[in-house]
């Protein structure tokens, strides 16, 4: 990497502002939205990973809205999990399913 980091940050800030303006109220219930850091559980094949991201969260119905860029990160991570490509991911425990 290196070099282009500053440019990248500028782009991200403007994207986030646009995103926030697009979601002033919840499109589902009309409730108030708040910007929050949320933990999202992603599943790909036999693997699962959690990722903490910023989202707009409806204070009434609890629905979360993610910027397009974040949704792409989710898709990317799901695809990597499905292919068992866990480089760069930290193993924090096993996953269990109750039957």
In this complex, which beta carbon is closest to Zn ion, that of residue 55 or of residue 77?
55
In this complex, which beta carbon is closest to Zn ion, that of residue 64 or of residue 78?
64
Binding flag, residue 59, Zn ion (CB under 5 A): no
Question: Which stretch in 12-20, 35-43, 58-66, 75-83 sits in contact with Zn ion by CB under 5 A?
Answer: 58-66
What one-character-per-residue DSSP string does 51-67 give? EEEEEEEETTT--EE--
Residue from 20, 23, 31, 42 in contact with Zn ion (CB under 5 A)? 31
Closest-CA residue to 45 (of 99, 95, 90): 95
For the stretch 31-44, what's the b/e string if a residue is b when 16 or more beta carbons lie within 10 angstroms of its beta carbon?
bebeeeeeebebeb
Q: Residues interacting with Zn ion, by CB under 5 A?
A: 26, 28-29, 31, 58, 60-61, 63
């Amino acid at each position: 990497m290196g070099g282009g980091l500053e440019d990248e940050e500028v782009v991200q800030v403007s994207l986030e502002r646009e995103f926030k303006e697009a979601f002033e109220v919840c499109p589902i219930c009309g409730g108030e939205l708040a910007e929050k850091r949320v933990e999202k559980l992603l599943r790909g094949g036999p693997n699962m990973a959690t990722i903490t991201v910023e989202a707009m969260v409806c204070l009434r119905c609890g629905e979360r809205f993610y910027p397009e860029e974040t949704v792409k990160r989710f898709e990317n991570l799901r695809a990597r999990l499905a292919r068992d490509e866990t480089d760069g991911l930290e193993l924090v425990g096993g996953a269990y399913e109750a039957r």
